Amino acid sequence: MMIGMNTEICDPAELATLRGIFVPRPEAAPPAGWEAVRSFEAEHGIVLPEPYRTFVAEVCDGLRAGPPYYGLLPFAQTPSDWGCDRPERLLAEPFPLTTTWMWENEEADEEALSEQELEARTDAVFDHGSLLLGTDGCGMYWHLVVTGPQRGHVWLIDEYGAMPFGTSSNASPMPGTPGFTGWATHWAQGRSWFAGAPGDDPEETA
């Protein structure tokens, strides 16, 4: 079960946590400002979820050091390896998933979706209702959901499937505190994204 969160009002404690992670870093990009944020929202017909919205407007709009591996992108950009022949990104269309979906299993299933159906569904996962935060390389992209039931949650999407970061279950492949602040804090503590990998125990990095 996914943990709910307040995405409409910026929690001062969360913003303070984000300031503590990003502001001391000399390579942190300056904030984008509220005019740029509101212009982007009007262009795409969305409102960015809090606390990310206030974070990019007032604290920082990108960090080369991460997260993820190849850096936190400015909020209006896509990764350099995203490609120019992809479908149009529709941020106002709801993100279609609420639970992990590994579509590589669909391809191995004799009763799988047709190739056209699978492509249409995966295109929606990549391009509907989310903002790109950055990439870990090898086609692994981190998305912040901005529209739909998963609004405010961070997802990892690659050629094999899509899964959310942070759930209430310790059995999750990526357990942790959900949302942008939880995701950024997890990275700042030097912890692995995946359960069972070296560095995933918070006591090791405390």
Sign of CA dihedral 48, 50, 51, 54: positive
What is the arithmetic mean of pLDDT over 127-131? 97
Q: What are phi and psi of 163, to 5 degrees?
A: -145, 150
- pTM (predicted TM-score): 0.90
In single-letter form, the type of residue at position 89 comes to R
In the predicted structure, residue 2 carries a pLDDT above the cut 50: no
Q: What is the pLDDT of residues 132-169, one digit of tens each?
A: 999 999 999 999 999 999 999 999 999 999 999 997 55
Alpha-carbon distance 29 to 59, whole Å? 9
